[in-house]
Amino acid sequence: MVNFKIQLSAQLENVQEILVRHSRLLLAAQFRCTSCQEVTENWDSYEISGSRGEANLVIRCKLCKRESTASFVGGYSVYNEEHSGQYASLAELDCRGLEPVEFKPRDHFLVVASSGARFEDVDLSEKEWFDYDEKSGDSVSIMELETQIKRV
């Protein structure tokens, strides 16, 4: 059994935490089939199920038709201000028949500002985000966003 950690690093300014739903996290990950090495975002079938802390991904490789799965191990992780500037894990995946090769953040992130103000549907695909927190009167930003996949 091989597990992988999806990690994120970013510089946070007046941001308390960044959250992403498990299903969204899976949609933003690219996988490689370990039997034929095919890397594709266009799998034959792609199914995401599960709820709170128990999401599951079942995909069938377009090339070799093998079905593979990924399951979350452990609970939900957020990226918070204590992590700023360092890598921290968003999730750990138990992968069978596939492995994640890249995590490309997209939209639907939830950002909580230091004041507690919430920003829904934040798009992090540009690897940075700037906004204004009306509650505190401060600017809020996420910069130098990077991701990595770590084998554990």
Chain positions contacting Zn ion, by CB under 5 A: 33, 35-36, 38, 61, 63-64
First to last CA, the chain: 10
Question: DSSP of 29-51, one letter per residue?
Answer: EEEEETTT--EES--SEEEEEEE
Whether 99 and 35 have beta carbons less than 8 Å apart is answered as no
Give least dist CB 42 to Zn ion, A: 12
CA distance 66 to 74: 26
Radius of gyration over every alpha carbon of the chain, rounded to an integer in angstroms: 16
CA distance 140 to 17: 11
Q: Whose Cβ is closer to Zn ion: residue 28's or residue 98's?
A: 98
Give least dist CB 99 to Zn ion, A: 12
Give least dist CB 47 to Zn ion, A: 16
Q: Whose Cβ is closer to Zn ion: residue 61's or residue 145's?
A: 61
Give least dist CB 40 to Zn ion, A: 9
Q: Whose Cβ is closer to Zn ion: residue 61's or residue 70's?
A: 61
Q: Whose Cβ is closer to Zn ion: residue 17's or residue 67's?
A: 67
